[in-house]
């Protein structure tokens, strides 16, 4: 996998587990379901553990835990499903989450600007993705009208 | 009207550049058809029966003469010399080439226009009253709020991939000319008991396959909370709207399945969490309102004797004055409808020459502005009475003075099978066949106000369910048949039409509609309108007349 984090190509050591056994070492992410089931055990791991959200996951069950998570991954199954955009805003603006918020799966280059505006600061791609091209996506707009997670003030207060 | 500053202009320029690159990548095979589709749709570009169709945004239907000239230029250069005005107060071009669309967007940007969010599952053009700012029954001009919502919704990062499209309408007048009860969100400017102006908020109205009349979820919303409340509604919808079935994905289904009360609770809960951070400043309302101040009107007498005399001596002018002009809040002025429904032509269409000529008339006689109505006509809203006769003569020469506004031949019609890939049946020929009943205009005037809406499929782009007479095209074993409904309305007394009976073949539609007219003429009381008659006597007498001897 290859990653853009905070507007720069970056390394990523996160291993995304489904229901396979925990590796002895290394940083891992698990689904919200698995996190809720195995929280006690996972919490004792020395290496970091992150949580992955599906579009249909409610954030209510994560309220207590989220502040301590080093990474939350939005697993996008279909780029047309826009629920993750609201999940991202709620994580940042409502739950005050300040860690890494990553988009993963089926998202388009053309959604990266919007994703960055709702608080996503990390993007995971297949190995052969031309990152230079993807980085351009953030610079397509220099003007934004409305407040969002990246800009708390709407344009009209800055005009 | 609103004028772009460098922020607005930069955003539109950047959007045009972004779309140019997206189209290049699509044509180069870097974007698949499935990936390109939502991107082009959010720039108003459909792929249609014959060619792509480009829908250009006309925010709340307001256009300047310079913008009209650019639309004429686009029709001439990239299309076949005409454009089609729509029920969302926008304009569509039916024949552009995909490769030309980036250039068209650049041309539009040069006159402060764009095609942003005219399609796709996002927040669409906010529509409003075509008489905003001049109507006698207006509490407050809704256009500043339309513009504020336009800016808030433009490239909103959170709401670009909603379950389905999302439409907002605002009315500031007593009579609802914006069909606010039939929108995903309807906003009605009202005064509360303290005398403050704010919004009554409706949600969950809509037409299409499942027509539903909207419900009030907040009786009074202070202006400062406008954007936070909209954001709360949209967030609840984005998270909870159905995505498993596109025919159940509109907010109306969510509201219906959740229940109004529970839905309102969810919105209020979300709103309480964000309202303090999203206050709409009075300074911003004032800044935007300054663009919609009254024009420098002259002080004129209420009645112009020369016009009164022309009305006495020229019957055709008098009919046009009666049907195609309405009162203005300033004495000596009238708002003038340009009928885009000349009998025998496609409703809502205008040629490049007509558009150019109208732009000149706007400059000479209406402060350089015009409005598109949701009934697919145009309104020059600020014409001196003393100019009316000259204007009538010039409009007549342009075939834009058919004195039929609000009558049975002023139909709302979708492009239908002739242009649209979704349609099951044609619309325009059916409209023309009904217009052909009226070689005698006295008959048309005698029938009074009748709204006939014709959709070529159940998506209902022509709002057939709220037509006083609704006509819906259906496919029956490869043949075009039509279902007729009676008694719909999109005004304050919004209602959905009731089905008259079995569908009828295309060749019979005009004869059926004529029987409906005759039934009304026989059974109406005194000055009773068509809609009132249907509501009083029900549809049974119409059924008997249409089907008994059919």
CATH number at residue B462: 3.30.413.10
Is residue B1 assigned to a domain?
A: no
Q: Which residue of A has its CA nearest to B237?
A: A83
Q: What interface predicted TM-score (ipTM) does this complex get?
A: 0.97
Q: Do both B63 and B37 map to the same domain?
A: yes
Q: What is the mean pLDDT of residues B433-444?
A: 93
Q: Measured between beta carbons, which residues in chain A are less than 8 angstroms from residue B157?
A: 85, 113-115, 117-118, 144, 146, 148
| Distance from C-alpha of B158 to C-alpha of B230, rounded to nearest angstrom | 13
Q: Do both B241 and B138 map to the same domain?
A: yes
pLDDT of residue B549: 59
* pLDDT tens profile A57-112: 999 999 999 999 999 999 999 999 999 999 999 999 999 999 999 999 999 999 99
A vs B, Cβ pairs < 8 A, gives 100
Is residue B281 assigned to a domain?
A: yes
| Distance from C-alpha of B340 to C-alpha of B343, rounded to nearest angstrom | 9
Q: Do both B311 and B375 map to the same domain?
A: yes
Strand partners, B63: B370
Put residue B447 in one of left, alpha, beta given phi > 0 → left and psi -120 to 50 → alpha: alpha
Q: Do both B231 and B89 map to the same domain?
A: no
For chain B, helix, strand, coil in percent to 5 are 45, 20, 40
Subunit contact A82:B160, Cβ cutoff 8 A: yes
Q: Is the dihedral of CA B432, B436, B440, B442 positive or negative?
A: negative
Identify the weakest region by mean pLDDT among B3-7, B129-133, B222-226, B341-345: B341-345
Domain carrying residue A83 = 2-157
Q: In CATH, what number is assigned to the domain containing residue B90?
A: 3.90.480.20
pLDDT of residue B294: 96
Of B132, B121, B128, B122, nearest to B154 by C-alpha is B122
The residue assigned the tokens 């014409």 is B383
Q: Do both B279 and B310 map to the same domain?
A: no
**pLDDT of B167 higher than 60:** yes
pLDDT of residue B49: 64
What's the domain count of chain A?
Answer: 1
Subunit contact B235:A89, Cβ cutoff 8 A: yes
Q: Do both B138 and B281 map to the same domain?
A: yes
Is residue B127 assigned to a domain?
A: no
CA atoms within 13 A on the CB side of B518: 12
Q: Percent of chain B having pLDDT more than 90? A: 93
Structure tokens at B162: 């909603």
Q: Are B367 and B333 in contact (CB under 8 A)?
A: no
Q: Do both B149 and B103 map to the same domain?
A: no
* pLDDT tens profile B21-76: 999 999 999 999 989 998 998 899 987 666 789 999 999 999 999 999 999 999 99
Is residue B405 assigned to a domain?
A: no
Is residue B124 assigned to a domain?
A: no
Strands of B193-327 (E only): list them.
197-203, 215-222, 325-327
Q: Measured between beta carbons, which residues in chain A are less than 8 angstroms from residue B284?
A: 156-157
Q: Do both B366 and B427 map to the same domain?
A: no
Domain carrying residue B149 = 134-289
Q: Write down which residue in B327, B362, B397 finishes a domain.
A: B397
What's the domain count of chain B?
Answer: 4
Burial class (CB in 10 A: 0-12, 13-18, 19+), B77: middle
Is residue B228 assigned to a domain?
A: yes
Q: Are B467 and B434 in contact (CB under 8 A)?
A: no
Of B186, B148, B151, B154, nearest to B167 by C-alpha is B186
Burial class (CB in 10 A: 0-12, 13-18, 19+), B386: middle
Q: Do both B321 and B284 map to the same domain?
A: no
Subunit contact A110:B235, Cβ cutoff 8 A: no
Put residue B214 in one of left, alpha, beta given phi > 0 → left and psi -120 to 50 → alpha: beta
Is residue B404 assigned to a domain?
A: no
**Nearest Cβ partner of B11 from A81, A110, A141?**
A141
First to last CA, chain B: 53
Categorize the per-residue pLDDT at A44 as very low, low, confident or very high, splitting at 50, 70 and 90.
confident
Of B334, B355, B347, nearest to B398 by C-alpha is B355
B330 to chain A, any CB pair closer than 8 A? The answer is: no
Is residue B116 assigned to a domain?
A: no
Subunit contact B235:A80, Cβ cutoff 8 A: no
Q: Measured between beta carbons, which residues in chain A are less than 8 angstroms from residue B22?
A: 110
- The pTM of this model reads 0.96
Subunit contact A82:B161, Cβ cutoff 8 A: yes
Q: Which residues of A touch B (CB under 8 A)?
A: 79-83, 85-87, 89, 93-94, 108, 110-111, 113-115, 117-118, 140-148, 152, 154-157, 159
Q: Write down which residue in B60, B75, B109 finishes a domain.
A: B109
* pLDDT tens profile B210-224: 999 999 999 999 999
Q: Write down which residue in B289, B319, B353 finishes a domain.
A: B289
């Amino acid at each position: 996998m290859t990653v853009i984090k905070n507007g720069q190509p970056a390394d990523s050591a996160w291993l995304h587990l489904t229901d396979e056994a925990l590796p002895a070492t290394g940083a891992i992410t698990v689904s919200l379901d698995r996190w809720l089931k195995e929280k006690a055990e996972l919490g004792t791991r020395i290496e970091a553990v992150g949580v992955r959200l599906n579009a249909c996951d409610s954030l209510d069950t994560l309220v207590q835990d989220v502040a301590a998570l080093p990474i939350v991954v939005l697993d996008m199954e279909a780029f047309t499903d826009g629920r993750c955009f609201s999940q991202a805003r709620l994580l940042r603006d409502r739950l005050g989450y300040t860690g890494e918020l990553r988009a993963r799966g089926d998202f388009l280059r053309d959604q990266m600007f919007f994703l960055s505006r709702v608080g996503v600061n990390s993007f995971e791609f297949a190995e052969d993705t031309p990152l230079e091209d993807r980085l351009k996506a953030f610079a397509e707009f220099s003007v934004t009208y409305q407040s969002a997670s990246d800009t708390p003030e709407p344009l009209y207060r800055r005009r | 009207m609103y004028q772009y500053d460098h922020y607005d202009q930069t955003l539109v320029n950047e959007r045009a550049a972004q779309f140019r690159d997206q189209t290049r990548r699509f044509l180069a095979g870097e974007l698949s058809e499935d990936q390109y589709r939502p991107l082009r749709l959010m720039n108003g570009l459909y792929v249609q029966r014959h060619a792509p169709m480009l829908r250009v945004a006309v925010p709340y239907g307001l256009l300047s003469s310079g913008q009209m000239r650019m639309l004429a230029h686009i029709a001439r250069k990239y299309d076949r010399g005409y454009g089609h005005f729509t029920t969302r107060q926008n304009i569509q071009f039916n024949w552009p080439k995909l490769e030309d669309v980036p250039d068209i967007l650049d041309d539009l940007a040069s006159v402060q226009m764009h095609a942003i969010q005219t399609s796709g599952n996002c927040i669409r053009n906010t529509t409003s009253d075509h008489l905003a700012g001049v109507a006698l029954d207006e509490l407050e001009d809704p256009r500043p709020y339309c513009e504020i919502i336009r800016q808030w919704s433009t490239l909103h990062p959170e709401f670009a991939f909603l379950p389905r499209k999302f439409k907002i309408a605002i009315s500031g007048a007593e009579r609802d000319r914006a069909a606010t009860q039939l929108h995903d969100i309807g906003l009605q400017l009202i005064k509360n008991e303290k005398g403050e102006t704010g919004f009554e908020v409706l949600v969950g109205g809509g037409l299409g396959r499942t027509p539903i009349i909207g419900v009030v979820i907040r009786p009074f919303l202070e202006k400062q909370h406008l954007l936070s409340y909209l954001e709360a509604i949209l967030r609840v919808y984005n998270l909870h709207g159905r995505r498993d079935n596109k025919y159940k994905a509109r907010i109306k289904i969510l509201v219906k399945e959740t229940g109004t009360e529970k839905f309102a609770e969810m919105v209020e809960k979300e709103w309480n969490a964000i309202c303090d951070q999203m206050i709409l400043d009075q300074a911003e309302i004032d800044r935007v309102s300054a663009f919609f101040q009254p024009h420098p009107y002259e002080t004129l007498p209420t009645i112009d004797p020369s016009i009164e005399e022309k009305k006495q001596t020229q019957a055709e002018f008098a009919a046009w004055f009666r049907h195609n002009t309405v009162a203005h809040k300033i004495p000596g002025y009238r708002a003038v409808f340009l009928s885009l429904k000349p009998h025998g032509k496609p409703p809502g269409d205008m040629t490049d020459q007509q558009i150019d000529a109208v732009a000149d008339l706007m400059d000479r006689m209406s402060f350089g502005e015009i409005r598109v109505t949701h009934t697919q006509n145009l309104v020059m809203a600020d014409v001196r009475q003393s100019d009316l006769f000259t204007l009538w003569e010039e409009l007549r020469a342009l075939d834009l003075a058919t004195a039929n506004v609000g009558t049975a031949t002023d139909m709302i019609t979708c492009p239908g099978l002739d242009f649209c890939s979704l349609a099951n049946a044609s619309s325009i020929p059916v409209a023309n066949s009904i217009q052909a009943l009226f070689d005698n205009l006295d008959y048309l005037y005698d029938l009074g106000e009748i709204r006939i809406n014709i959709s070529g499929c159940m998506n209902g782009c022509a709002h057939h369910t709220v037509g006083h007479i609704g006509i819906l095209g259906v496919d029956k074993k490869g043949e075009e048949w039509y279902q007729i409904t009676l008694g719909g309305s999109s005004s304050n007394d919004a209602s959905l039409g009731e089905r008259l009976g079995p569908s009828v073949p295309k060749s019979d539609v005009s004869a059926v509609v004529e029987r409906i007219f005759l039934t009304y003429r026989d059974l109406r009381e005194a000055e009773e309108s068509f809609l009132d008659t249907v509501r009083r006597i029900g549809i049974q007498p119409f059924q008997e007349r249409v089907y008994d001897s059919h």
